[in-house]
Amino acid sequence: MTIGLTGGIGAGKSLISSILESLSYPVFNSDKEAKSIVEQNEIVKNKIIQLLGQNAYQDGSYNRPFVANIVFHDADKLKRLNEIIHPVVRQLFKEFAAKQESKLIFNEAAILFETGAYKSFDKTILVYANEKVRLNRVIARDGSNKNEILARFAKQWPDEKKIPLADFIIENNEEKSVLLQLDEILNKLN
């Protein structure tokens, strides 16, 4: 069974992934794979250069600030960039899943619902935290400023739009134990 694991920036997806890995469940991290693909996959690199220009790469390395500046101000270019990267990531997940012996295989991805990729999983888990908690976590983690973070939040769907699509929800506002919530979900999935 494949399970998509998602949540907004700072919600705690990585925490849940770490717990799952410590319990010996296989977890595929789509965001890390996407970062690797844009650096190493020559076909993807060429398509990105065609879409965004030569400055998308600087000395052979992906120029994240340049790309982010374009796609966060141009929804069409962001959509087209995702259409280049996401099919490659999905294929890598299929290959990863085929090699696993576990009954449950997890895929951590930030924009699972936004891309429609959630439809390809047997079940989904949404990690939820309110905006204030998420904002404080991201400031502490990345050292980003509030306006940059809020702009990133705005590029993802609000949790209210994701909740009806999720099969399971983990509330990570530091009020309820995420371990107990995850244990309950794993019992249902197993």
Instruction: Decide if pLDDT at 65 tops 80.
Output: yes
Q: Which numeric CATH code is attached to 33-99?
A: 3.40.50.300
What are the helix and strand counts (H, E) for the chain? 9, 7
Q: Which fold has domain 1-26+102-190?
A: Rossmann fold (3.40.50)
Query: Could you give the angle at the alpha carbon of 89 between the alpha carbons of 13 and 58, nearest 5°?
Result: 95
pLDDT band (50, 70, 90) for residue 141:
confident
Q: pTM of the full predicted structure?
A: 0.87
Residue in the structure block whose two tokens are 């500046």: 69
At 9 the pLDDT is 87
List, for residues 71-100, the tens digit of each pLDDT value. Answer: 888 989 998 999 999 899 999 999 999 999
- Is there a shared CATH topology between the 1-26+102-190 domain and the 33-99 domain? yes
Instruction: Decide if pLDDT at 55 tops 90.
Output: yes
At 73 the pLDDT is 85
Nearest to 189 by CA among 101, 97, 118, 104: 104
- With b for 16 or more beta-carbon neighbours within 10 A and e for fewer, the 7-45 pattern comes to bbbbbbbbbbbebbeeeebbbbbbeebbeebbeebeebb
pLDDT band (50, 70, 90) for residue 138:
confident
List, for residues 3-45, the tens digit of each pLDDT value. Answer: 999 998 889 999 999 999 999 999 999 989 999 999 999 999 9
**So where are the chain's domains?**
1-26+102-190, 33-99
Phi, psi of 132, deg, nearest 5: -60, -45
At 155 the pLDDT is 76
